[in-house]
Amino acid sequence: MKLNEQQLTALKDSIEHWRRMAEGVPNVGEEPYSSDCSLCTQFRYSNYSNDYSGYCIDCPVAISVLHGYCARTPYRAAEEAFSLYGGNSIQFKAAARKELEFLESLLPK
């Protein structure tokens, strides 16, 4: 997938976010939600329209899985593990590593 500068910068920032999550060393107040994701803050509401069809347009994740809101990605399992077990749990860190690996797979070769 060819990424423009904005997409690549947001992807790299999100990879670093998930690296911190997987290693159990988040920044103060940082959580695995869209409010702390560079990709979400850049692309979640891009091309907003009243029928909500514009969500996640141009997001490398949405482009790769052909679906918005990080559906069909490891994100949902990480979010659930965080909610159930907490950010320092083995379950969450394992799920966060899968999300990290998925995001890294989107980097240009």
pLDDT in tens, 47-90: 444 444 557 888 999 999 988 889 899 999 999 999 999 999 99
Q: 15 lies in a domain?
A: yes
Q: Give the number of residues written for the chain.
A: 109
Q: 109 lies in a domain?
A: no
Q: 34 lies in a domain?
A: yes
- Identify the pLDDT of residue 54: 58
Q: 89 lies in a domain?
A: yes
pLDDT, one tens digit per residue, over 78-105 is 999 999 999 999 999 999 999 999 999 9
Q: 88 lies in a domain?
A: yes
Asked if 59 and 43 touch (Cβ cutoff 8 Å), the reply is yes
Q: 85 lies in a domain?
A: yes
What total of structural domains would you count in the chain?
A: 1
Q: 93 lies in a domain?
A: yes
Range of the domain at 65: 5-104
pTM: 0.90
- Identify the pLDDT of residue 8: 98
Distance CA 11, CA 16 (A): 9
- Identify the pLDDT of residue 52: 45
Instruction: Give yes or no for residue 2 having a pLDDT over 90.
Output: yes
DSSP letter at 26 equals P
pLDDT tier at 13, thresholds 50, 70, 90: very high
Alpha-carbon torsion 78, 35, 52, 59, what sign? Answer: negative
- Identify the pLDDT of residue 30: 93
Q: 60 lies in a domain?
A: yes
Arithmetic mean of pLDDT, 7-26: 96
- Identify the pLDDT of residue 53: 52
